[in-house]
Amino acid sequence: MKSNIVIRKALASDREFIFSLSPNLAEVAKLDWHSDATVAKMQDGYIEEMLAESQTPNSTFVAEMNGTQLGFIHVRLQQDAISNEPAALIPLLAISAQSQGLGIGQQLISVAQSWAKELGCRLLQLEVFANNDNAIGFYKKQGFKPEIMQMTKVI
C-alpha cells in the first residue's frame, strides 16, 4: 500500500481537505480549562495562518492515493529557542482517521526532514498537544525527544 501513496506540495484545491481535519486536531487537545469551541476556533485559525502567504520559508505537503487525500504536513523555518540556529518546525501533521496506521505520517515526516535539510537545518522540531499520547508515542518512534514544555495552571 505504501508504494501507491504520493506525497506532493499542497495546492489551493487541498484547502477544504486540510480544514476537514481541523476537528480531529482540536479533539485530541483534551484541555479541560478551554471549551471545545475555543480549541476548535484556535485550530482553525492556526490552519488559516499556516496556509497564508508568508515571508518565512515554509511548505505544506499532502499525501494522496489514487487522487484521494489522506493527510498533510506543514513545515516552516524558525530560529531554535536554545541555539538560535535555523531549525525546521512541524506545527501541524494530520492524517485522516481511515488512513492512520498506513505509514503516511512517517512518509510525511521524511519529506519535511528532506525539506529542512535542503535549507541547511540540523534540527527538526514539532508541536504536539501534551495530552495527545498517541501522537507523542508516534513522534518518539520517529526519533523526536521532548525539549521545552509549556505548562498551564488555571488561577
What topology is assigned to 2-141 in CATH? Aminopeptidase (3.40.630)
Write out the three cell numbers for 21. Answer: 481535519
Strand order through the sheet with 5-9: 5-9, 58-65, 68-79, 86-95, 124-126
Question: Long-range CB contacts (< 8 A, 24+ apart) of 151-154?
Answer: 152/31, 152/33, 154/33
Q: Give the C-alpha separation, 72 to 95, whole Å.
A: 7
- Going 22 to 24 to 30 to 32, the CA torsion angle's sign is positive
pTM for the structure as a whole:
0.90
* Extents of the domains making up the chain: 2-141
**pLDDT per residue of the chain (155 residues) written in tens, 0 to 9:** 446 899 999 999 999 999 999 888 888 878 889 888 888 888 888 888 888 888 899 999 999 999 999 999 999 999 999 999 999 999 999 999 999 989 999 999 999 999 999 999 999 999 998 888 999 999 999 999 999 888 888 89
Q: Is 106 helix (H, G, I), strand (E, B) or coil?
A: helix
- 62, 99, 145, 54: CA torsion to nearest 10: 20
Per residue in 69-112, pLDDT (tens digit) is: 999 999 999 999 999 999 999 999 999 999 998 999 999 999 99
**What letter represents residue 30's amino acid?**
K
